[in-house]
Amino acid sequence: MLLASVALAVTRHCDGRPCIGTRHADTLIERRGNGVSDAIFGRGGRDALRAGRYTRDTDRLHGNRGRDRVSVLDGDMRDKASGGPGRDVCVIDDSREIGRGCEVIVVS
């Protein structure tokens, strides 16, 4: 089937923990609701991991391989953003949320 070979960029709301992407470029968004702690893994590809909408949770985000953008900017300081291999951008509330492999750190 022709479509099977096309690398599609997928935006997906996580529906479980852990929430795991594909080897392609994924946009993975945390589950709905405050106080819901997520664990999100981008795997390969240029991923965007977002846990910025809901607060009062402990979200752990891992970009894994590829150049990723990992955001735990949600108003609390309980999360952890890890880029892994590749040049990754981590967007955080506070320096204590910096995990491994964040080449560019944005603190807001």
In the complex, what is the shortest distance from the CB of residue 6 to Ca ion, in angstroms, rounded to a whole number? 23
Residue 35: which of 59, 57, 17, 14 has the closest Cα?
57
Using alpha carbons only, give the angle 16, 13, 89 rounded to the nearest 5 degrees.
Answer: 100
The correct pick among 45, 50, 60, 88 for binding Ca ion (CB under 5 A) is 88
Instruction: Decide: is 21 part of the binding site for Ca ion (CB under 5 A).
Output: no
**26 vs 74 by CB, closer to Ca ion:** 74
The correct pick among 84, 89, 90, 102 for binding Ca ion (CB under 5 A) is 84
**10 vs 17 by CB, closer to Ca ion:** 17
Residue 38: which of 66, 70, 3 has the closest Cα?
70
Q: 108 burial class (0-12, 13-18, 19+ CB within 10 angstroms)?
A: exposed
In the complex, what is the shortest distance from the CB of residue 83 to Ca ion, in angstroms, rounded to a whole number? 5
Binding-site ranges for Ca ion (CB under 5 A): 30, 36, 38, 51, 57, 59, 63, 68, 72, 74, 76, 79, 83-84, 86, 88, 93
